[in-house]
Amino acid sequence: MRILVTDGMDKTAMAELKAQGHEVVEQFYESEELGKALRGFDVVVVRSKTKVRAPHIDEAKGSNLKLIIRGGVGVDNIDVKYAEENGIMVRNTPNASSQSVAECALAHMFACARFISIAGAAMRNDIWDKKAYSKGIELQGKTLGIIGFGRIGAHLGVMAKAIGMNVIAFDIFHIPGIEERLGIPYVEMDELLAKSDFISVHAPAVDGGALINAERIAKMKDGVVIINTSRGTNVDEAALLAALESGKVRAAGLDVYADEPATNKALYSHPMVSCTPHIGAATNEAQKRIGAEIVDIIKAM
């Protein structure tokens, strides 16, 4: 088969696909060129940069395209239902990057608790301001509320418990037996908002507005820390910035943004924001696992 890889893939996985006799083309296409390009391939592999929307699928109709693979968890950059209605399968790699994203969220929690991001930036500007960063907090004994308790949320919960945090979770889907297996109770959203010292979001993008908005921030503890490594639209950036300015929110750790590359400089440059450029899944280990899952998906065709 002819396989298009638009946003990069582990080199070992690409070599394995080629060894199996497939032709692998690594090429990014701008949106206006993508639909036409898809007509020349059987499979397309995307990450988060490439968006496969209904107009692209329309252009690809009648061609050999039969599979779109999202190397990662979320598939909100693909019009899944429309693709499948037109005979194109959509698959993702839900297991491969969960640990990496969870560790990224935990790293942001530490950074927010101990001023690691802003203190490091100050030192690189030859500013030794020990006093300004001497009021850190410990994670041990704090309550972590996880919104979206799938694979990533569960990984984070286990790690947080290991360092002595109390962990509670909210999810619209209740996985049978998971509370007993992990020792992490499900609670309603309002209870999570009221009890949590740290709140970490691990839900897919949702219709109907941000999961974290001004109304829900108002229900949180004063001095709460908010972490988002899921989708940028899950947090109302204007509401978050206002809460940071007022002190309602102590700090925020952000790996994802409403617009990417990020455009809200007032937010990502705020001294109490620990920010990274959507690198939650960007570890060597995760990329290898993603590549291996992609190979397995294509083998199974």
Q: Which residues have a catalytic role annotated?
A: 231, 260, 278
The whole-angstrom separation of Cα 201 and Cα 159 is 15
Helix axes 151-162, 98-114, angle to 10 degrees: 50
The whole-angstrom separation of Cα 144 and Cα 182 is 14
The whole-angstrom separation of Cα 100 and Cα 104 is 6
The whole-angstrom separation of Cα 70 and Cα 116 is 33
Asked whether 70 and 93 are in contact (CB, 8 A), the reply is yes
Across the beta sheet with 198-201, the strand order is 166-170, 143-147, 198-201, 224-228, 249-254, 273-275
Asked whether 228 and 101 are in contact (CB, 8 A), the reply is no
Asked whether 189 and 164 are in contact (CB, 8 A), the reply is no
Asked whether 229 and 202 are in contact (CB, 8 A), the reply is yes
Tokens of 129: 């301001």
Instruction: Identify how many contiguous H helices and E strands the chain contains and give both numbers.
Output: 13, 11
The whole-angstrom separation of Cα 113 and Cα 272 is 10
Stretch (H or E) spanning 259: none
